[in-house]
């Protein structure tokens, strides 16, 4: 295979493709007056340096109050900044799944690992939300199912969607920590010290925002050192051992809160990160070169208890 040839796409996957671009909006405030536009954008969006924003301004991608900018300038008292991002290639994704439950309104699927649920992290059209809309149009359905919550891109398993807005709103409330709902996952982690069959351990340390050179801030475990942290969210995870082998531990993780990357973070807090997790490492460290959307770990949304709704979805045999 030459370097110009694309890698073959597995069956059941959608090939990488160019999207239509997107426009991002920022509103300036009076206290931003006099700040260079490139500096403001770099401060708000740490994924791009000020030099990169300067290049985007020179390319005509930035508008201020509807006018295209061709050079950097200080901000006025008030303004609307638009970044007209040119089309980019979105990676290949799995675009098939099995249906766990469908009553015409509520739809629960077994989401495959590798499929983003909603636009984020470089994905715009290659998402479950877009695929559901496209599938509904093909069938002539007036209401497309929309996700109620969001599993991580590389988390497989029970993904709840609904067609009616009122149903989505009611289900969203049931996913809140105060609702008493319980979500069960399976995962492979490094060996959990002190955990034996028939035993469970509870992790209830906060999930905290920590500095990250690529993104500015990411959610992570409590750091060992006096590293700066920002926001904190209470989280609760119960860890139960299902299987132990030379590779690591297969665990059941029961959560009543649904914080960002909670399971990955709490296992890293225990000193037993998910096998293959590129971001959350031993000793509560975070990999500066990885992001939350990077894969390599095995995490499966296994069972779900929401009021009268009790669902289960076994992980693949290769899990």
What are the tens digits of pLDDT across the range 278-308? 999 999 999 999 999 999 999 999 999 988 8
> What whole-number distance in Å separates Cα of residue 245 and Cα of residue 188?
10
Q: How far is CA 131 from CA 16, 89, 96, in A?
A: 14, 17, 9
Q: Vertex 49, ends 291 and 297: CA angle to 5°?
A: 5
Which two tokens mark 105? 């309104």
* pLDDT tens digits along 208-244: 999 998 888 999 999 987 788 889 999 999 999 999 9
Kindly give, in sequence order, each residue whose CB lies less than 8 Å from that of residue 75, ignoring residues fewer than 6 positions away.
Answer: 28, 32, 33, 34, 35, 36, 37, 40, 64
Kindly report the CATH number that applies to the domain delimited by 93-175. 3.30.2350.10
pLDDT of 171: 94
Structural domain boundaries in the chain: 17-89, 93-175, 182-312
Strands (E), 163-263: 182-189, 200-203, 207-212, 216-220, 232-233, 237-244, 249-255
The torsion defined by the Cα of 152, 157, 160 and 163, in degrees rounded to 10, comes to 100
Which of left, alpha, beta for 110 (phi over 0: left; psi -120 to 50: alpha)?
Answer: beta
pTM of the predicted protein model: 0.89
223, with CB counted inside 10 A (0-12, 13-18, 19+), is middle
Helices and strands of the chain, counted as H and E runs = 5, 21
pLDDT band at residue 60 using 50, 70 and 90 as cut-offs: very high
Q: Encoding tokens for residue 253? A: 């993780």
DSSP letter assigned to residue 286: B
16 is written with which tokens? 């990488």
Comparing 17-89 with 182-312, is the CATH topology the same? Answer: no
182-312: CATH superfamily: Pseudouridine synthase (3.30.2350.10)
- Quote the CATH superfamily of domain 17-89: RNA-binding S4 domain (3.10.290.10)
In the structure encoding, which two tokens stand for residue 87, read together? 């089309």
- Summarised one tens digit per residue, pLDDT across range 71-105 is 999 998 888 999 999 999 999 999 999 999 999 99
Question: Which tens digits make up the pLDDT trace of 247-285?
Answer: 999 999 999 998 999 999 999 999 999 999 999 999 999
- Report the distance separating Cα 182 and Cα 303, nearest Å: 8
């Amino acid at each position: 295979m030459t370097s110009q040839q694309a890698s073959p796409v597995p069956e059941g996957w959608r090939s990488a493709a160019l999207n239509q671009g997107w426009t991002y909006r920022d509103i300036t405030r009076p206290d931003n007056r006099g700040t260079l536009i490139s500096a403001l954008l770099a401060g708000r969006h740490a994924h791009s340096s000020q030099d990169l924003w300067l290049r985007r301004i020179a390319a005509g991608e930035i508008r201020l109050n509807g006018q295209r900018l061709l050079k950097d300038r200080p901000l006025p008292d008030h303004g609307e900044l638009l970044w007209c991002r040119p089309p980019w290639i979105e990676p290949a994704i799995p675009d098939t799944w099995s249906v766990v439950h469908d009553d015409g309104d509520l739809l629960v699927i077994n989401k495959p690992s590798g499929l983003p649920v909603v636009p984020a992290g470089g994905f715009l059209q290659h998402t479950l939300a877009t695929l559901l809309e496209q599938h509904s149009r093909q069938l002539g359905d007036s209401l497309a199912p929309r996700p109620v919550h969001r599993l991580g891109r590389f988390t497989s398993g029970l993904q709840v969607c609904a067609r009616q807005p009122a149903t989505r709103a009611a289900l969203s409330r049931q996913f809140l920590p105060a609702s008493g709902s319980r979500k069960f996952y399976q995962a492979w982690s490094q060996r959990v010290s002190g955990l034996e069959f028939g035993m469970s351990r509870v992790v209830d340390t906060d999930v905290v925002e920590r500095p990250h050179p690529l993104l500015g801030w990411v959610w992570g475990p409590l750091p060992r050192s006096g590293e700066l942290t920002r926001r904190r969210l209470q989280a609760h995870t119960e860890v139960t051992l299902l299987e132990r082998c030379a590779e690591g531990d297969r665990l059941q993780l029961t959560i009543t809160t649904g914080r960002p990357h909670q399971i990955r973070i709490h296992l890293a807090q225990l000193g037993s990160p998910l096998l293959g997790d590129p971001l959350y490492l031993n000793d509560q460290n975070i990999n500066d070169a990885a992001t939350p959307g990077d894969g390599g770990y095995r995490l499966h949304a296994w069972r779900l208890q929401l009021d009268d709704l009790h669902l289960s979805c076994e992980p693949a045999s290769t899990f």
